[in-house]
Amino acid sequence: MLLSMTGFGRAIQSFDSKTVTVELRSLNSKFTDVRLKIPHNYKEKEQEIKKLVLDRAHRGKVDVNIEIQAITGAEQFSLNEPLFRKYVQEIKRLSAEEQIPTGDIISSVLRLPNVVMAAENTLDEKEWTIVISTLKEALDNFCAFREQEGKILAEDMAMRIDTIKSNLQKIAPFEENRIVKIKDKMMRSLEEFMGKKNVDKNRYEQEVIFYLEKIDINEEKVRLSQHCDYFLEQLQDSSTAKGRKLSFIGQEIGREINTLGSKAYSSDIQRHVVSMKDELEKVKEQVANSV
């Protein structure tokens, strides 16, 4: 089961006169990065919240937003009076120096950071229980979203790996003709350089055999086929968090395709190699978006 690294999950629960809303969003990242936006009085629970998310998120940049609102709209707020006065004094001083009208200074100052804050309350255990329950529900929705997206990624990657295998099979008809062309080219070069009568046929055959061994692609074909099968096998595996493993297998597939291209000496084979490279690049893009 493959999981997408991008995900979204949301859950809402109500209790007494409050509503708890938890929202999770994730984007691509090589590492796991959990960023929290939570009420000020929940700071002591930050590590506990992060652990719950990390245990399910595996990998990616995850934003967690927890909001607690009073259903009646009767949230309590406090005014940071010292900070308010300081802002007013500084603004008046600067406006006098620069001869700039102060305008509606009160509404402007009230919008500045930390002037108006929600009143700090001690952490309520009942509220905390509801928050955890809502977070777990949001995580369930988040993981379900990732799983659904992961199925789409897996289907696309499987199709592209099958295309690589299909191109690999299409190489076979051109291999024998490739060898004939190489032998003829070597013979023509020898005859032009040394003259037809001076060519040692036995030595020529030895050199041809040595050269053909160097450009033989059977091992690369076998390894490439095995890597593709292993990639498809991992896609079907029930375990999660296998994006890195698929990335490593993809690197091995790329290595064999590149070697095939360097040994091809055939425009027909090269066309299939180019097609395989194109499909592999698209696979890598999808792997980069998987957990």
182 and 70 together in one domain: no
Q: What angle do CA 236, 237, 241 make, to 5 degrees?
A: 115
Mean pLDDT in residue range 267-272: 91
**76 in helix, strand or coil?**
coil
Which residues is 20 bridged to in the sheet?
Answer: 13, 68
271 and 163 together in one domain: yes
158 and 203 together in one domain: yes
184 lies in a domain?
yes
Give the per-residue pLDDT at 31.
83
Report how many domains make up the chain.
Answer: 3
26 and 135 together in one domain: yes
Please give the DSSP secondary-structure letter assigned to residue 281.
H
Mean pLDDT in residue range 93-112: 80
130 lies in a domain?
yes
What Cα–Cα distance (Å) separates residue 19 from each residue in 69, 217, 282?
5, 65, 44
Where do the DSSP E strands lie in 48-129? 60-70, 77-79, 116-118
137 and 158 together in one domain: no
Q: Looking at the predicted structure, is the pLDDT value of residue 33 above 80?
A: yes
Q: Compare 46 and 99 and report the one with higher pLDDT.
A: 46
User: How many C-beta atoms surround the C-beta of residue 33 within 10 A?
Assistant: 14
Q: Looking at the predicted structure, is the pLDDT value of residue 204 above 80?
A: no
12 lies in a domain?
yes
157 and 274 together in one domain: yes
227 and 263 together in one domain: yes
53 and 141 together in one domain: yes
Give the per-residue pLDDT at 26.
95
210 lies in a domain?
yes
Pairwise CA distance, residues 229 & 253, whole Å: 10
Structure tokens at 106: 């009160």
Which residues is 42 bridged to in the sheet?
Answer: none
Domain span including residue 199:
148-287
Smallest Cα–Cα separation from 112: which of 90, 85, 84, 77?
84
Pairwise CA distance, residues 274 & 168, whole Å: 11
* pTM exceeds 0.85: no
137 lies in a domain?
yes
Positive or negative: CA dihedral 264, 265, 268, 272: positive
90 and 131 together in one domain: no
CATH code, domain carrying 234: 1.20.120
119 lies in a domain?
no
2 lies in a domain?
no
